A and B are shown apart, each in its own frame.
Chain A
Amino acid sequence: MTGRSPSGRALGRRDALALGGAAAAVAAIPTARADTHLTVWTGYPEIQPMYQAVAAEYAKSHPGVTFDFFSTTLREFEQKLSAAVPTGTGPDVYDIGTNISVNFIDNSLLDPNPPEIDAYMKSGPWDKFTVDFFTTDGKTYGLPFLEGSRASMYWNKTYFKEAGLSGPPATFPELIEDAKKLVKFDSQGRMTRSGISLRLSGQGSGIGEKFRYILEAAGGSAIERTPSGKWHNGYDNQAGRDALTFYVDAVQTWHIDDPKVLHDADAFATGATAMLFRESWVIGEIQSKNPNLDYGVAPIPAWKAGMPRMMMLQPEGVYVSGQSSNKAVAWDFVKFLTNPENGLRLTEMTGWLSPRQDIDWKPLLAKTPQFKTFVSPPADIKYYVEPVLTAWDEIETRLADRLTAAYVDPSLKGNPKNIAAAIHSMAQQTDQVLKDANLYGT
């Protein structure tokens, strides 16, 4: 029977060749899978461990897929990605803000989502606002990955108690009075603890972004859309003047903050300030740097009683490059990355929020109740968004350049005329950037 098949038919040369071919084809499948290598870039180094954990999980069910990760600070990442994508040297998968992705979309460097991803995106995991945010000319691009803002107010419970304050301020006048009680000076009159840590120095659009927390609360906006679909500045008005006056007075009149003292998340985590407006990731910072800190998180106060409390929304997406040679696998990974389990994992591991609306936050809130304001903001909150414009980063950065000088300019102290002139000059600059980008209109 040797050399015969069970059916009794002899194994001919053709059969042997066919079998060999089939065996080679079968062998080729795992080889191809093993060759599937995805490069993933992120502008959030703190998120890289989460990416790696998700990739390890994904690789268990997809053993042929390997990953390569790269992360650097957000601004450097934006520059690197913007240089890499047009030259075809970018990654397969990247997360980025819409300020950059809009450039890629405008210049056909990013493909619209494949039909199945488009259908998945619209099937309910994300609310309509978020889906619309990732929609350009009726087509969706990328999947929502993290909420980059929902900035709220961190307040140090211990300091508030010491100062005889029962809870966080609800309005800006209350905030100013509270901050005056919370600020501390040494015997030589030097500030040792700020009442509130505002963003006063350094460089970059972040300064402009933090100014907007106050500006929007006061009823203004950085830019406004006109009925023609074009834009112009939205702060050469009373709200803009009020917002700048608040900063100038905070530093020069009320002395509740000072550029010389420690600032930002480090200041709050180490107890060098009593209040801070920031995003949810600061919770992660506090957990790693000072887990015993007794603090609460509340919405940024209303400008005055009767005005709404405002919250910035800044959804950021994860995209598959239009030039990727592994698009199918890349989309599959992106879908896996943004599923509810990994949405929760993102928040637990990094403090950044997932914008999904179907995540059960109860286990997280039981462990870290400070997340409550971020994951389920009070119903009365009014939202404003990061404009999706090619020139947005330049508008915010150029505004920031002027603001840092204005905050400490003594000629602006108690001088509404100079405040108005400074705001007008900044607003003209904003309009000029819009004009340069052919986006200006009245």
Chain B
Amino acid sequence: MSVSTLDRPLPRPLPQGEGRRKIRRHLRLWLWCYAMLLPVLAIYAFVRIWPIARTVMLSFYNWRLIARVRPFVGLANYERMFSDANFQIAIWNTTVYSLSIVLISTIIALPLAVVLARRGRMSAVYQTIYFLPVITPLVPMCIAWKWIYDYNYGILNYILSLVGIPPIAWLTDAHMALWALVIMGVWKVLGFNLVIFLVGIRNIPASYLEAASLDGANELQKFWRVTLPLLRPILLYVLVTATINAYNVFTQVYVMTLGSQDAPGQAVRVLVYDIYQNAFQYFRMGYASAEAVALTFIVLGLTLIQFRAFREREAG
């Protein structure tokens, strides 16, 4: 027999003094907690929130690093971006780079993770090998890759020559330079994606896969029907983090365009490099800030699209 709300006895009101004391006790506890959290929150706000707010603010000014007058220009910096050829090249290159990195690294890492999840004797060794690039410092690695890509003495062209492929000017050919960066980028993030997928796969209950086997599913069917759907949250995480990281690419571009034997700057111009150049070489801090805000919105937009796409699939 169900008891309606009205049938329930009303809670006994607390005596007036006791209620106040309780509220005061709670208030004191909250205050204490927030007071304790305040230094951390203040530091967080100072190092994370304030620079972002300041960047947004600067984007409305003609703010030059070395200048006495820094006038408010409203949306002029944003308007300028639409006619700035360098910004447009940077957007295009960054998008091509990011899409390539995210797609290629995911497509390679996922099946690799399925294979390595089987806990073979060499599984741990392979995981370590794949993960090594993730923990290796980027600048020395870029220098090493410059040698790998060297037209005359690079090992990559040597390996290609063994199968009869003529040498490729990986860095100095304007059409190849961006792809050279993509190859290096995939090499760098592959291990990270792989480990994340591996963790996800190993958390899938074995009983699901056993049930699928009993139903007669082959390996491919088990992957498509069981593993992949259950990996969706992990896949979303990998896609989102890989996209954010790829859009923020800088070090590789900077190091690999430094010398006379390196990539032509314009062929591999990416957004963060363009921001850096405007900010610290041309001292146009206001314009660079506008570009940084644009980059934030681009990445935020892409992240939301990815979340939405996955949510719609789940709902479907």
Q: Across the interface, do A202 and B65 meet the contact criterion of CB distance under 8 Å?
A: no
B255-283 residues with Cβ-Cβ distance < 8 A to A are 257-267, 269, 277, 280-283
Across-interface contacts of A199 in B (CB, < 8 A): 260
Let me know if A82 and B282 touch, CB within 8 A. Answer: no
The residues of A that contact B257 with a CB separation of less than 8 Å are 202-203
Could you tell me the distance in whole angstroms from the C-beta of B152 to the nearest C-beta in chain A?
7
Q: Which residues of B contact A201 (CB under 8 A)?
A: 171-172, 260-264
Bound CA–CA A203/B273 (angstroms): 11
Distance, CA A85 to CA B66, complexed state (A): 9
* B264, A104: Cβ atoms closer than 8 Å: no
Which among A262, A393, A401, A405 is the interface contact of B152 at CB below 8 angstroms? A262
Are B281 and A260 neighbours in the complex by a CB distance under 8 Å?
no
A55 within 8 A of B: no
Q: Is A174 an interface residue (CB 8 A)?
A: no
> Using Cβ atoms and an 8 Å threshold, which residues of chain A touch B282?
393-394, 397
Q: Which of A103, A203, A264 has the largest number of chain B CB atoms within 10 A? A: A203
A79 to B288, CA, bound (A): 15
CB-defined contacts of B152 to chain A, threshold 8 Å? 260-262
B261, A82: Cβ atoms under 8 Å? no
The yes or no answer to A75 lying at the interface (CB within 8 A) is yes
Residue of A nearest to B278 (CB): A394
Q: Give every chain A residue within 8 A of B86 (Cβ-Cβ).
A: 398, 401
Residues 169-195 (chain A) with a chain B CB within 8 angstroms: 190
Q: Contact: A103 with B265, CB < 8 Å?
A: no
Interface centre among B68, B259, B264, B282 (most CB of A within 10 A): B264
Q: Is B151 an interface residue (CB 8 A)?
A: yes
A202-B261, A204-B265 known; A260-B172 Cβ under 8 A:
yes
On whether the beta carbons of A262 and B65 are closer than 8 Å, the reply is no
- Mostly, the B contact residues are loop
A199 to B172 alpha-carbon distance, docked (Å): 12
**A388 at the A/B interface (Cβ < 8 Å)?**
no
A104 surroundings in chain B (CB, below 8 A): 66
CA distance A369 to B230 in the complex (A): 76
Which chain A residues (70-101) contact chain B, with CB distance < 8 Å?
75, 78-79, 82-83, 85-86
Q: Which residues of B contact A106 (CB under 8 A)?
A: 66-67
**Contact assessment for B265 and A260 in the assembled complex, using a CB-CB cutoff below 8 Å:** no
Q: Taking the nearest CB of chain A, how far is it from the CB of B270, in angstroms?
A: 12
**Across the interface, which residues of A come within 8 angstroms of B263, CB to CB?**
201-203
| B171-228, CB < 8 A from A | 171-174
Are A400 and B265 in touch, CB under 8 angstroms? yes
Contacts of B171 in A (CB 8 A): 201
Q: Chain A nearest CB: distance from B169 CB in Å?
A: 5
Question: Is A52 close to B, CB under 8 A?
Answer: no
**0/1 per residue, B118-146, Cβ < 8 Å to A?**
00000000000000000000000000000
In the docked arrangement, what's the CA distance between A85 and B283, Å? 13
Contacts A82-B283, A86-B66 given; indicate if A260 touches B266 (C-beta within 8 A). Answer: no
The interface residues of chain B lying within 8 Å CB-to-CB of A260 are 151-152, 167, 169, 172-173
Q: Which of B65, B151, B169, B174 contacts A83 (CB 8 A)?
A: B65
B264: which of A190, A206, A404 is its contact (CB, 8 Å)? A404
Do A109 and B267 touch across chains, with their CB atoms under 8 A apart? no
Whether A202 contacts B169 in the complex (CB less than 8 A), given A75-B281, A103-B283, A104-B66, comes out as no
Contact assessment for B174 and A202 in the assembled complex, using a CB-CB cutoff below 8 Å: no
Q: For the complex, is A402 an interface residue (Cβ under 8 Å from B)?
A: yes
A157 sits at the interface (CB 8 A): no
Q: Is A79 a contact of B261 with CB atoms below 8 Å?
A: no
A401 to B65, CA, bound (A): 23
B277: chain A residues at CB < 8 Å are 397
Chain B residues with CB below 8 A from A393, complex form: 281-282
Q: Which of A86, A394, A398, A408 contacts B65 (CB 8 A)?
A: A86
- Is A107 an interface position by the 8 A CB rule? yes
Instruction: Give min CB distance, B184 to chain A, whole Å.
Output: 17
- Find chain A residues with CB under 8 A from B259 CB: 202, 264
Assess whether A345 is interfacial by the CB under 8 Å rule. Answer: no
A109 to B64, CA, bound (A): 14
- B153, closest chain A residue (CB): A262
**B172 A264 Cβ-Cβ under 8 A:** no
The answer to the question of A108 belonging to the interface, with a C-beta cut-off of 8 Å to chain B, is yes
Question: In the complex, which residue of chain B has the Cβ closest to the Cβ of A83?
Answer: B65
Q: How far is the CA of A262 from the CA of B152 in the complex (A)?
A: 9
Determine if A296 is an interface residue (Cβ-Cβ < 8 Å).
no
**Of A103, A402, A405, the contact of B66 (CB 8 Å cutoff):** A103
Contacts of B173 in A (CB 8 A): 259-260, 408
State the Cβ distance, A128 to closest chain B Cβ, in Å.
29
- Whether A203 pairs with B265 at a CB distance below 8 angstroms is yes
Q: Does A202 lie within 8 Å of B266, measured CB to CB?
A: no
Given A107-B67, A262-B152, A408-B174, are A397 and B261 also a contact pair (CB < 8 Å)? no
Q: How far is the CA of A85 from the CA of B67 in the complex (A)?
A: 12
| Structural contact, B261 and A108, CB atoms closer than 8 A | no
A262 CB to nearest chain B CB (Å): 6
Bound Cα distance A229, B281 (Å):
25
Beta-carbon contact of A263 and B283 below 8 Å: no
Q: Which residues of B have CB within 8 Å of A103?
A: 66, 283
Further contacts, 5 of them, CB under 8 A, given A203-B262, A263-B261, A405-B174? A85-B66, A107-B67, A394-B281, A404-B265, A408-B174
Q: What are 10 residue pairs bridging A and B, where the CB atoms are less than 8 Å apart in the complex?
A: A82-B66, A103-B283, A202-B264, A203-B262, A259-B264, A261-B152, A393-B282, A394-B281, A398-B86, A408-B174
The 10 nearest A-B residue pairs measured at CB? A203-B265, A404-B264, A259-B172, A203-B257, A263-B260, A79-B280, A264-B260, A103-B66, A260-B151, A394-B282
Report which A residues bind B (CB closer than 8 A).
Answer: 75, 78-79, 82-83, 85-86, 103-104, 106-109, 190, 199-204, 206, 259-264, 393-394, 397-398, 400-402, 404-405, 408, 429
